[in-house]
């Protein structure tokens, strides 16, 4: 599976989700590559903060040619996760063209819901060339038992992109793990954060089977 984590809005959780998805896929013994397509290189920073054995490979590829290079760079890997860039449209477009599933993190905030129309537009354009391109929103930083958390699914329903059943809650462990270059399951293997990531992975894998 080639999954692109995209949203031109910054701070929605692309990198957080990308590293944890990659780690979760690698846990099953799969060979996983994480492509950092963000010029800021946050996924590379994550890898640099890590001590000990890498869970998966990470390469920086902040170029609008990811879709052309992925065959060669991704050769031999079972799964590839692309951590998408903010703003830069040509990089985002290339990452979308490289992916077979696009995952769009959105926070339960009206600003995130409005901003999502940009990435939805890019997906619509890409579908002209890639009819079978799958795309889904995932709600990130959900705050338990809040109305906005429940309403976000309804608001996103206006877009022609589905919303994953699985969602990710606002949890300090995501930042704590990142600071050490770790995945959440390495800190709390049976914890709720690891379970949420696993549920996202299972749903994504279901799309590509
Ligand atoms: P992006 O890559 O879209 O810019 P990041 O993954 O860097 O977003 O996340 C932005 C900030 O939000 C980071 O400080 C990260 O630790 C934090 N964050 C993301 N998701 C969560 C979450 N589910 N719970 C708590 N903090 C989160
Ligand atoms: Mg990022």
Q: In the chain, what percentage of residues exceed pLDDT 90?
A: 89
> What total number of domains does the chain contain?
1
- Stretch (H or E) spanning 4: strand 2-5
Domain residues for the domain of 27 are 2-207
Q: How confident is the model at residue 70, as a pLDDT? A: 98
Burial label, 194 (beta-carbon count in 10 A; 0-12, 13-18, 19+): buried
Nearest CA to ligand 1 atom 15: 175
- Stretch (H or E) spanning 82: strand 79-83
Q: What is the CATH number of the domain that holds 138?
A: 3.40.50.300
Whole-model pTM above 0.95? yes
- The predicted model gives 146-175 an average pLDDT of 89
Q: How far is the CA of 178 from the centre of ligand 1 (A)?
A: 9
Q: How far is the CA of 89 from the centre of ligand 2 (A)?
A: 15
Q: How far is the CA of 129 from the centre of ligand 1 (A)?
A: 32
Out of 115, 175, 176, give the residue to mutate to test ligand 1, the one with the largest number of ligand atoms within 8 Å of its CB: 175
- The predicted model gives 134-143 an average pLDDT of 96
Q: How far is the CA of 205 from the centre of ligand 1 (A)?
A: 23
* Rounded-to-integer distance, Cα 90 and Cα 73, Å: 19
Point out the ligand 1 atom lying closest to the alpha carbon of residue 193: 23
Q: Is the pLDDT of residue 93 over 90?
A: yes
Q: How far is the CA of 13 from the centre of ligand 1 (A)?
A: 4
Nearest CA to ligand 1 atom 6: 13
> Which ligand places an atom closest to the C-alpha of 184?
1
Pocket of ligand 1 (CB under 6 A): 10-16, 42, 140-141, 168, 170-171, 174-175, 178
- Residue among 75, 3, 1, 72 nearest 37 (CA): 3
Q: What is the pLDDT of residues 66-80, one digit of tens each?
A: 999 999 999 999 999
- Residue among 146, 202, 135 nearest 169 (CA): 146
Residues with CB under 5 A from ligand 2 (ion): 14-15, 42
> Which ligand places an atom closest to the C-alpha of 179?
1
Q: How confident is the model at residue 154, as a pLDDT? A: 86
Q: How far is the CA of 16 from the centre of ligand 1 (A)?
A: 5
Q: Is the pLDDT of residue 149 over 70?
A: no
Is 203 in a helix, a strand, or coil? helix
Point out the ligand 1 atom lying closest to the alpha carbon of residue 178: 16
């Amino acid at each position: 599976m080639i999954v692109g984590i995209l949203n031109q809005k910054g701070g929605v959780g692309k990198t957080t989700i990308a590293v944890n998805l990659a780690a979760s896929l690698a846990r099953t013994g799969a060979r996983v590559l994480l492509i950092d397509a963000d010029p800021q290189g946050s996924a590379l920073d994550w890898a640099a903060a890590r001590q000990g054995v890498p869970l998966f490979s990470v390469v920086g590829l902040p170029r609008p040619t990811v879709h052309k290079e992925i065959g060669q760079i991704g050769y031999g890997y079972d799964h590839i996760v692309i951590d998408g860039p903010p703003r830069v449209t040509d990089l985002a477009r290339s990452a979308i063209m490289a992916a077979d599933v696009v995952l769009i993190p959105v926070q339960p905030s009206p600003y995130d819901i409005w901003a999502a129309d940009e990435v939805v537009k890019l997906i619509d354009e890409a579908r002209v060339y890639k009819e079978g391109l799958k795309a889904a929103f995932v709600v990130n930083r959900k705050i338990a038992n809040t109305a906005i958390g429940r309403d976000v699914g309804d608001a996103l329903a206006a877009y022609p992109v589905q919303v994953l059943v699985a969602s990710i809650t606002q949890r300090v462990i995501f930042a704590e793990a990142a600071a050490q270059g770790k995945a959440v399951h390495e800190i709390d293997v049976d914890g709720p954060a690891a379970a949420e990531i696993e549920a996202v992975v299972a749903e994504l894998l279901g799309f590509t089977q």
